[in-house]
Chains A and B, each alone.
Chain A
Amino acid sequence: MKKQTKKTKPDIINRFTGDSWVYTKEVKEHFFKPKNILWENPKEAKYDAEGIVGSPACGDVMRVWLNINSKKDTITDFKWRTFGCASAIASTSMLSVMVTEKGGIKIDKALKIKPQDIMKRLGGLPDRKIHCSVLGDKALRAALNDWFKKTKQFSRIMVEGTQIIDPNTKTTEADIEEAVLEGATTLLAVQKRTKVGIGYPECLPKVEELIRFYREKYFGPDKK
């Protein structure tokens, strides 16, 4: 009998999709001992900025509180609360650590953190759970938008992709993003889901560009 190599982790693999199910040690650590949680309701003006994303109907809500050093443009404190599954809780916790380590990172650097970076630090998430980790990234941006509004840095405010790309089917950028997240990573697959561009082929180059953008954002750069 062959000896199992040390690399093989005990895991449950879905027979049909090949997905792994078991969470990594890092996910467990952040899930069972979440870092930087806001345990008590804050007093007014204790935090410089605040953001909330998600909805309880969908099973994920995240709220983020930030303190910001305006001189250095760094995030000094990141507190959070999350309603959601293990992946959602663990990825928010990990994000809070990544943002505040070494005394807090620059806002611009924090904005460059992708869901994929959080997942890498967590040692990976099951494919169907990538959805859950996206929330952190969105909540952080929502809180930073709040900060930019408060400090009147209007040029830095980020607008979420609600722009309609295909007026026939009313497909938005966000629809494309969601389709990619749900595993449709080619134009054909995205069209199957959203019917985008079928009656309006002019938008297709833009759609392809968006698919590439979100694919890289969530699944890493394309392998050559």
Chain B
Amino acid sequence: MSKHQYYFDYAATTPLDPKVFSVMLPYFNKEFGNPSNLYELGRNASHAITKATRTITKILECRSEEFVYTSSATEADNLAILGTARANKEKGNQIIISQIEHKGILAVCKILSKEGFDVIKIPVGKDGLIEISALEKALTPQTILVSITSADSETGTIQPVAEISKIIKEFRLKDNNVFPYFHTDASQSAGYLDVNVDKLGVDMMTLSAHKLYGPKGIGGLYIRRNTKINPIIYGGGQQGQLRSGTENVPGIVGFAKALELNKKNKKTELARMKKMRDTLEKGIFKLIPKVVLNGHSTKRLPNFLNISILDIEGEALLLYLDELGIMVSTGSACNSQSLEPSYVLTALGNPYEYVHGSVRFTLGKGNTMQDIKYVLKKLPIIVKKLRDISPLELKMDQTSAMSNPKAFIGGQTPHFLRKKK
């Protein structure tokens, strides 16, 4: 028998809901038609998509033609940014994002800045909230797009999307302009926050199915009517020319079901998550000394807990927990491909020393209070052991880097601190 799994990484991905799985199943082999075809199998597939889109757009409270399916949230982010920037480059060349956007946005903005766009990154405060005043100041008649995440994927801090949209709308009214467009990546927040696009006041919104107990390989972008946008994938002209490629019918059907189930259970799950998360949070702070909370203390998704445990290193902690079947994630440099500590946590003004000891618990449907108790029983023991192994004794009240940021090889500055030439 395999050991019991204590999964605390629901922000990374979620398991497929069996109800979602069962509605998807026929579309793999029985109703396998290509929705572009006119015969019965094709019509059935096409009908399934129409029905799914109706379900999704009803939840978002938008029109059916305002939603486009993509292969992932990353693709949806890419489409939103690249698509509108390139389509409107005569109108302006400035794009405003935040420091803590998803890589799907950061990477694409890097490309756009090479194409002559001026990308402005709004800083975030220590609590993880973006500096609204900096955003207001950054808006110019050249700004064609603002993209701010609804909640980042590391701390789960909830950004005031509706407030930002109000600022943007007022700015537009001044010049009687349609720009800037406002996009938000709601992949993390959709499960717990309102996704009504009018209430949020967004022009584009990214969603992802696999964060909502839906299948991987399917995401989507809400695009308000009259938004000028170019495709980023070209071909047979599916989805109103905006996203070519045969539609992922089982994925789309599953996506809709997942969103539907999520809406049904949102309130009760939110309360359940919050209760468990708060128990975990309070427990850890009570049982373990020298722990720092990353992100906002209250304006945070109910299933997120990101903490830094001082004097120990995240990857080591992760592997010790893994040995007990507890699965978490860390922002430590050692755990990343690039060997760079988390850019989100460093953007909050945390010293690197804190980021290396960061650990993220994200709760979900499968967790019970029993799981929380198990973590609270095991975590202090592991932390004690790793602290015994560690030669560090960092101080808690430090706000800036407390050690000389020199790498161990011959006293060099670490590569992630060097100015890029």
Contacts and interface: CB of A to CB of B under 8 A. Distances in A.
Interface of A: 14, 23, 31-32, 34, 37, 39, 52-63, 81-89, 128-129, 131-132, 134-135, 138, 160-162, 172-175, 177-178, 181-182, 195
Given A57-B414, A85-B313, A178-B415, 4 more contacts: A53-B408, A59-B333, A81-B388, A138-B409
B316 A31 contact: yes
15 contacts: A39-B388, A52-B391, A55-B405, A58-B407, A59-B333, A60-B408, A81-B389, A82-B390, A83-B312, A83-B390, A85-B316, A85-B335, A88-B313, A128-B337, A128-B339
Contacts of A14: 337
Interface in B352-377: 352-353, 356
A86 B391 contact: no
A135 B391 CA distance: 14
Given A31-B316, A174-B412, A56 B394 contact: yes
B167 interface: no
B233 interface: no
B410 A59 contact: no
Interface string B295-338: 00000000000000001110110011001000000001111010
A55 B406 CA distance: 6
Contacts of B337: 14, 128
B410 A83 contact: no
A52 B392 CA distance: 11
B401 interface: yes
A131 B404 contact: no
Interface of B: 311-313, 315-316, 319-320, 323, 332-335, 337, 339, 341, 351-353, 356, 388-392, 394, 401-412, 414-415, 421
B149 to A, nearest CB: 26
Contact of B341 (A59, A60, A174, A175): A59
Most buried by A among B392, B405, B409: B409
A84 B334 contact: yes
Most buried by A among B356, B389, B412: B389
Contacts of A31: 316, 319
A57 B316 contact: no
Contacts of A162: 410-411
A175 B403 contact: no
Contact of A81 (B353, B390, B414): B390
A134 B391 contact: no
A138 B352 contact: no
Given A32-B320, A34-B389, A37-B388, A160 B352 contact: no
Contacts of B353: 56-57
A129 B334 CA distance: 8
A58 B352 contact: yes
Nearest to B310: A56
A30 to B, nearest CB: 11
Contacts of B352: 56-59
A170 to B, nearest CB: 11
Given A83-B313, A84-B316, A174-B410, A58 B390 contact: no
Nearest 6 interchain pairs by C-beta: A174-B410, A85-B334, A63-B391, A81-B391, A85-B315, A57-B405
A127 to B, nearest CB: 11
Most buried by B among A32, A56, A62: A56
Contacts of A181: 409
B313 A58 contact: no
A172 B410 contact: yes
Nearest to A60: B408
Nearest to A19: B337
